[in-house]
Amino acid sequence: MSTATVNGVEQKTTKSNKTYWRVNLGGIGWASTFDTKIGKLCEDHKGQDIEVETEKNGDFTNIKSASVARGTSAPAGTRDALIVRQVALKAAVEYANALRPSMTSTTEDIIANAKEFAKWIMAEEEPEPVDPDLPL
């Protein structure tokens, strides 16, 4: 298996009315699957990395299997993703207030920190330590 970013997904129908998915995978190119679970997984993880196994069949690339890549966050719009974003935003605001109580942090600074906290929440390994001397 290799890791690839899902750059795009198209749901298609064959002439015999069978549904399949065309997936644009970074580093691999366009690949197809008739497997509904794989198609939905790719749709749910657009812009994110997945673990994928492909095989060439003439001019076509077929997706044999796919799974969520290690450390990948919950798909945007899901309840879990919303909870992670809320927790990360709250932590970023508290971090800004605790670290620099007399300074005003911009919205962009807080959101950037929230994204880092969200990555940390979803990571399966320890992140790099935060340098407290860096500006927010």
* 3-state secondary structure (DSSP) of residue 100: coil
> DSSP code of 59?
T
pLDDT tens, position by position, 99-112: 766 677 788 888 88
pLDDT tens, position by position, 14-56: 999 999 999 999 999 999 999 999 999 899 888 888 999 999 9
Residue 28: the pLDDT is: 92
Pull the structure tokens for residue 67.
């799974």
8 Å CB contact between 91 and 84 = no
Residue 101: the pLDDT is: 66
Q: Are residues 7 and 62 in the same domain?
A: yes
8 Å CB contact between 38 and 50 = no
Q: Which one of 30, 50, 68 terminates a domain?
A: 68
Q: What's the predicted TM-score (pTM) here?
A: 0.53
CATH number where 17 lies: 2.40.50.140
φ, ψ dihedrals at 65, nearest 5°: -155, 160
Q: Are residues 82 and 61 in the same domain?
A: no
Residue 39: the pLDDT is: 92
Q: Which one of 68, 90, 121 terminates a domain?
A: 68
pLDDT tier at 96, thresholds 50, 70, 90? confident
Residue 133: the pLDDT is: 60
- Confidence check: pLDDT of 1 > 70: yes
Length of the chain: 136
pLDDT tier at 8, thresholds 50, 70, 90? very high
CB burial class (10 A; 0-12, 13-18, 19+) of residue 67?
middle
Pull the structure tokens for residue 95.
């971090």
* 3-state secondary structure (DSSP) of residue 97: helix
Q: Are residues 94 and 122 in the same domain?
A: yes
- Confidence check: pLDDT of 7 > 90: yes
Q: Are residues 42 and 64 in the same domain?
A: yes
Q: Are residues 79 and 46 in the same domain?
A: no
Domain that holds residue 119: 73-136
Q: What's the total number of domains in the chain?
A: 2
Strand partners, 5: 49
Q: What is the C-alpha separation between 86 and 118, in angstroms, rounded? A: 9
Pull the structure tokens for residue 63.
């997706």
